[in-house]
Structure 1
Amino acid sequence: MSADTAAQPGIITLELADKQALYAAYMPFLSNGGLFVPRSQLRGQQLEMGDEVFLLVNLVEHSERLPVAGRVVWITPRGAQGQRQPGIGVQFSSQDGGSTQQKLESLLAGSLESARPTNTL
């Protein structure tokens, strides 16, 4: 994929270096699952609640790229209470059939019940 494709509006490449980064980004409380995307990985895109997006999730530790459609359901603005990282939460589309959610939860087996803070809660 070229850099031009990654910069197209609504297409977001999310780099997750390891299981800890995946744990911090994963949003299991959303129907069909979802991921938090830090503002730094939005490449200047200004997205709003309800916007449709297409995620290309790079799981570096596993040499995988997961494509999934979704929509913006969470926005953490700059200067948010609790020093949270600014960014957006993307809920996976029901058209995915839970495939991405199952894949990510399998990778996070044993971690989902942790009390460690994440990028959203």
Structure 2
Amino acid sequence: MQELLVDFEDLDELYRCYMAFLRQGGVFVKTNLRFEMGTAVAVRVTLPDALEEDVASGKVVWITPQGAQNANPPGVGIAFGDGQEVLNDKIVKLLGTQLNSDKPTYTM
């Protein structure tokens, strides 16, 4: 299983990468690596101000290719799999009311 690393330095970047529209949540990971839809991956996530990383498994559900017309960075969206509620809950708690924002994200 491929492993991706993502380090969110601030809440704004976490907001832009969080995929709240997914039932169990997920994150967009900036990468130039190529993936196919449905590919199983592990994600090592360091949240803002966290001392330790969280590891989650999931699958690729979104692909933004290099040179996309919307000027978003290339990368993949990873939907968290079953049993990843702890990481998703941490993200939701950190973002709080920001989740109601209409600011653009890297996915929707």
Provide the residue aligned with 1:89 in structure 2: 77
State the distance in 2 between where 1:109 and 1:79 align. Answer: 32
Q: Mean Cα displacement is larger for which, 78-87 or 21-30? A: 78-87
Gap regions ≥5 residues in structure 1? 1-8
Deviation at 1:102, TM superposition (A): 1.1
Aligned identity (percent) is 37
Secondary structure of the residue aligned to 2:49 is helix
Aligned length: 108
Q: Higher Cα Rg: structure 1 or 2?
A: 1
TM-score, normalized by length of structure 2? 0.91
- Tell me, yes or no, if structure 1 residue 19 matches structure 2 residue 6: no
Kept in 2: contact 1:57–1:65 (CA 8 A): yes
Amino acid at match of 2:93: S
Q: Deviations over 1:53-88 (max 9, x none)?
A: 001001242323111111000001112122121110
After superposition, where does 1:1-121 map in structure 2 within 5 Å?
10-39=2-31, 45-96=33-84, 98-121=85-108
User: Unaligned 5+ residue runs, structure 2?
Assistant: none
Report if aligned partners of 2:11, 2:48 keep a CA contact under 8 Å in 1. no
Are residues 20 and 64 of structure 1, via their aligned partners in 2, closer, same or farther at CA, if it must alter by over 3 Å?
farther
Runs of 4+ in 1 over 2 A off after TM superposition: 60-64
Q: TM-score of the superposition, structure 1-length normalised?
A: 0.82
Larger relative helix fraction: 1
Q: Please give the alpha-carbon distance, in whole angstroms, between the structure 1 residues aligned to 2:35 and 2:83.
A: 21
